[in-house]
Amino acid sequence: MSSKSNEDAVFKALANAKRRQMLDALKDAPQTTGALCEAFAEMDRCTVMQHLKVLEDAGLIIARRDGRERWNHLNALPIKAIHDRWISQYAGHAISVLEALKKEIEK
C-alpha cells in the first residue's frame, strides 16, 4: 500500500468516534474480540467486527489468533507517522507565531 493511500486509510479509520474509542480501549493492553463486544454492548457483534476490520486494514490494530480467541493489539506506528508528517510541522509554525506575538506584546 502506498504511503498516501495508507494515510487515507488511517484518517478514515480515525474519523469515526467508535473506532477511536476502540483504540483507547486497546491502549493499555490487547483485548479479545469478545471483550470488545462486551465493552461496546450498544453495538452488535457484526458491527464491532466491521469497525475492527477498518482498523486492521489501516494498520492501527494487529489481530492474532490464539486458539478460538482473536486478540487485538494496538499498533500506534501509523498514528505516529501521521503526527510526524502533519501535526509536528504545523505545531512548530504555531509556536513561532506565538513567540513573535509575545515579542511584539513585550515591546
Domain 3-75: CATH class, spelled out: mainly alpha
Domain ranges (residues) in the chain: 3-75
pLDDT digits (tens, 9 = 90+) for 11-69: 999 999 999 999 999 999 999 999 999 999 999 999 999 999 999 999 999 999 999 99
Tell me the whole-structure pTM to 2 decimals.
Answer: 0.79
pLDDT digits (tens, 9 = 90+) for 71-95: 999 999 999 998 888 887 777 777 7
DSSP string, the chain: --HHHHHHHHHHHHTSHHHHHHHHHHSSS-EEHHHHHHHTTTS-HHHHHHHHHHHHHTTSEEEEEETTEEEEEE--HHHHHHIIIIIHHHHHHHHHHHHHHHHHHH-
